[in-house]
A and B are shown apart, each in its own frame.
Chain A
Amino acid sequence: MLSNFGSILFFLIFGAVFVCVNILLSRLLQTRNPYPVKLSVYECGELPEGNSWIQFNIRFYVIALIFLIFEVEIVFLFPWAVVFKDLGMFAFVEMLIFVGILLVGLAYVWAKGDLEWDKPEQVPSPELYRTDNVNSAVKITESVAS
């Protein structure tokens, strides 16, 4: 008989085999007729423009950190809500203290101005990006036509 971890191993193997077999089957059965438009990125996003190693605004990290704090709060609130009825007043007070501590944190970042998003003084012209996009779109249509 399979032990607990045995069934997990079975599940792993089955999952891997299932994916491989399906890809192999579709490869054997498909008809192939590639052309540039069909090969282009569609519906899943845009064509990448330039290198992805660009400078990120550090503000994103601060916001992400603050978000994380409240995410953790929610994670704690769920099990708390499940047993709330059994525990009654005690649980209520406990959660008040917990949320209170988090609120002190929120007040701190607020007062220190970390929730404000400073905008760059000079916004780069949107025209710049649009012409680039148009050009690449034109290139694709040209290559399709030829």
Chain B
Amino acid sequence: MALSDIIRDNINSLNYFLPELLLTGLVLLMIIADLLLKKERSPWMSIIALIGSGVVLFAIINQYELGSRSIFNNMLAVDEFSIFFKLLFLATTILVIFLSIASVELSGRSVGEYFTLLMILTLGLFLMASATHMITIFIAIELVSIISFALVTYLKTRRRSSEAGLKYAIYGAFSSGLMLYGISILYGLTGTLNIYEIGEVLAGRDTNSLALLISVLLIMAGFGYKIASVPFHFWSPDVYEGAPTPITAFLSIGPKAAGFAVIIRFFNVALSNYDGVAEQWLALSNINWPQIIAVIAAATMTLGNLVAIAQDNVKRLLAYSSIAHAGYALLGVVVLSSQGVYATLFYLVVYYFMNLGAFFVVIIFQDIIGSEKIDDFKGLASRAPIPAIAMGVFLFSLTGLPPTAGFIGKFYLFAALIKAGPEFYWLAIVGLLNSVVALYYYARILKAMFFDKISEGVSPEPLKISPYYVTLLAVLGIPTILVGLYWAPLANLASHSVHFLPTF
């Protein structure tokens, strides 16, 4: 292609890149505003961030009308799939901004950098959702990782926070290195880094399957690190425990969902061929990578759930539970069908509500009673009934009990798995057994809150919950139940979003 054509494509792409450009502008504006405002704790930074997010939201919705296109010379894709994820990320960011405003933990620190970093993180997530070139994927993942390190250590005077950041950074560097090595092997095998072209080359001729297997496993190290799947999960409990709780909530959804976006796009475009009649992808080359991911999914669920049983700290328990949920969401990826991808997307939205909600209740209790131990949660239901009941809803949903959203999400995942055929029945059984295990440790929190007596020395007087908290709880809790009863709109959105480039 001539240079002028490349330039023209880049200029034409700008129109499709509007949400990201606006977000970049917002970040610059916030940096300048931070300098001009001088005051360390001015509410303006969060207001600018919220207004900016609103503008970006409109730009994203507007993208539905522009249609699917590959932009910047096939570096990024604008399609329903990426728009869906961008909406999810932006929703996460907006909610985390609200959580951060209320957080007592963050009140001692300057907020200017905090909100600016949060917006840069969102930009990185947007890029992850739309990247279609291995180098773009890598850069997007690094952008997300490096900003996450800074946000995790944001409470730098707290020892655990610094420790978490350091561990996160070391794991991040290691897994990025592995992933880059895998990408280089893939480049050596196919001679291209564009995932469409990788798919074409792999469909066109036989490749050395051992080398391909090694490269896919190495690349999976980078992706698995982002979604915290076994065996790349070691960072997550320490990081979730040490980070400021709003950031923990963000990390358990934003980068995780982005990791799924990258995994689905990479495996379904680069390593499989779409069969339009059967609405099914066929794995390319002679390695059976769906079974590899199936093993990873089974290990992730089982380990996450079993280790969660032994936890005393609610934040740590939720960290392990979020590892387990990454395993559940992977069930939709292994089956390689539209139905599977659709189930995963649905589950991620449901997970957004119930997981953010559970973390939010932890934030509330942590701010008031100053502890996140299960033992200190004893009798909280009588002292603060509204957050306790909300916690019940979120935990039932996380377990997957009807009539909550979590049940519908899991139902779709298992349905896709059963439909895919007998080779995945074992995985469905593992998943079901895991749900039983999950019920046990979620019930421990509920038992402490509802049935245990208040510990001696703690005054039984009711806790004051501000209306702001109650509103936020309602914003998260009502959809958790509502989607469990009437899920058609969300199901429509998810099934509409399975379409990604190349268009089929």
A residues with CB within 8 A of B: 83, 86-87, 90, 101, 104-105, 107-108, 111-112
Closest A residue, CB atoms, query B29: A104
Interfacial chain B residues near A87, Cβ < 8 Å: 3, 7
Chain B interface: which size bin?
A: under 10
The answer for the CA separation of A108 and B112 in the assembled complex, in Å, is 12
A104 touches B31 (CB 8 A): yes
| Residue B32, interface by CB 8 Å | yes
The answer for the CA separation of A90 and B11 in the assembled complex, in Å, is 10
Interface centre among B4, B7, B11, B34 (most CB of A within 10 A): B7
Contact of A101 among B4, B7, B28 (CB under 8 A): B28
B7 touches A108 (CB 8 A): no
B28 touches A104 (CB 8 A): yes
- Give residues of chain B (1-37) contacting chain A, Cβ–Cβ below 8 Å: 3-4, 7, 11, 28, 31-32, 34-35
15 new A-B contacts, CB < 8 A, other than A104-B31, A108-B31, A108-B34, are A83-B3, A86-B3, A86-B4, A87-B3, A87-B7, A90-B7, A90-B11, A101-B28, A104-B28, A104-B32, A105-B31, A107-B35, A108-B35, A111-B35, A112-B35
Report the minimum CB–CB distance from A103 to chain B (whole Å): 11
| Listed A/B pairs (15) with beta-carbon separation below 8 Å | A83-B3, A86-B4, A87-B3, A87-B7, A90-B7, A90-B11, A101-B28, A104-B28, A104-B31, A105-B31, A108-B31, A108-B34, A108-B35, A111-B35, A112-B35
The answer for the CA separation of A111 and B35 in the assembled complex, in Å, is 7
Closest A residue, CB atoms, query B188: A5
The answer for the CA separation of A105 and B24 in the assembled complex, in Å, is 13
Closest B residue, CB atoms, query A111: B35
The B contact surface, by secondary structure, is: helix
Q: Give the 7 A-B residue pairs with the shortest CB-CB distance, closest first.
A: A111-B35, A108-B31, A104-B28, A104-B31, A86-B3, A108-B35, A104-B32
The answer for the CA separation of A70 and B3 in the assembled complex, in Å, is 27
The answer for the CA separation of A64 and B181 in the assembled complex, in Å, is 27
The answer for the CA separation of A86 and B8 in the assembled complex, in Å, is 13
The A contact surface, by secondary structure, is: helix
Report the minimum CB–CB distance from B116 to chain A (whole Å): 9
Report the minimum CB–CB distance from A67 to chain B (whole Å): 17
Closest B residue, CB atoms, query A5: B188
The answer for the CA separation of A101 and B32 in the assembled complex, in Å, is 11
Report the minimum CB–CB distance from A115 to chain B (whole Å): 14
Interfacial chain A residues near B4, Cβ < 8 Å: 86
How many contacting A-B pairs (Cβ < 8 A)?
Answer: 18
Interfacial chain A residues near B35, Cβ < 8 Å: 107-108, 111-112
The answer for the CA separation of A18 and B248 in the assembled complex, in Å, is 55
Interfacial chain A residues near B34, Cβ < 8 Å: 108
Interfacial chain B residues near A105, Cβ < 8 Å: 31
The answer for the CA separation of A86 and B34 in the assembled complex, in Å, is 39
Interfacial chain A residues near B31, Cβ < 8 Å: 104-105, 108
Closest A residue, CB atoms, query B32: A104
Interfacial chain A residues near B3, Cβ < 8 Å: 83, 86-87
Interfacial chain A residues near B28, Cβ < 8 Å: 101, 104
The answer for the CA separation of A18 and B173 in the assembled complex, in Å, is 35
Closest B residue, CB atoms, query A86: B3
Report the minimum CB–CB distance from A89 to chain B (whole Å): 11
Interfacial chain A residues near B11, Cβ < 8 Å: 90
Report the minimum CB–CB distance from A72 to chain B (whole Å): 13
Interfacial chain A residues near B32, Cβ < 8 Å: 104
Report the minimum CB–CB distance from B123 to chain A (whole Å): 13
Interfacial chain B residues near A86, Cβ < 8 Å: 3-4
Annotate B32-44 by CB proximity to A: 1 below 8 A, 0 otherwise. Answer: 1011000000000
Report the minimum CB–CB distance from A86 to chain B (whole Å): 6
The answer for the CA separation of A104 and B28 in the assembled complex, in Å, is 7
Report the minimum CB–CB distance from A10 to chain B (whole Å): 18
Annotate B48-73 by CB proximity to A: 1 below 8 A, 0 otherwise. Answer: 00000000000000000000000000
Report the minimum CB–CB distance from A40 to chain B (whole Å): 39
The answer for the CA separation of A117 and B25 in the assembled complex, in Å, is 31
Report the minimum CB–CB distance from B29 to chain A (whole Å): 10
The answer for the CA separation of A116 and B34 in the assembled complex, in Å, is 19
Interfacial chain B residues near A90, Cβ < 8 Å: 7, 11
Interfacial chain B residues near A101, Cβ < 8 Å: 28
Closest A residue, CB atoms, query B8: A90
Interface centre among A83, A105, A112 (most CB of B within 10 A): A112
Report the minimum CB–CB distance from A106 to chain B (whole Å): 11
Interface centre among A86, A105, A108 (most CB of B within 10 A): A108
Interfacial chain A residues near B7, Cβ < 8 Å: 87, 90
Interfacial chain B residues near A107, Cβ < 8 Å: 35
The answer for the CA separation of A87 and B6 in the assembled complex, in Å, is 11
The answer for the CA separation of A107 and B31 in the assembled complex, in Å, is 10
Interfacial chain B residues near A104, Cβ < 8 Å: 28, 31-32
The answer for the CA separation of A105 and B120 in the assembled complex, in Å, is 14
Closest B residue, CB atoms, query A91: B7
Closest A residue, CB atoms, query B38: A111
The answer for the CA separation of A101 and B3 in the assembled complex, in Å, is 25
Closest B residue, CB atoms, query A100: B28
The answer for the CA separation of A101 and B31 in the assembled complex, in Å, is 10
Report the minimum CB–CB distance from B45 to chain A (whole Å): 14
Closest A residue, CB atoms, query B24: A101
Closest B residue, CB atoms, query A90: B7
The answer for the CA separation of A105 and B3 in the assembled complex, in Å, is 31
The answer for the CA separation of A112 and B35 in the assembled complex, in Å, is 8
Report the minimum CB–CB distance from A92 to chain B (whole Å): 13
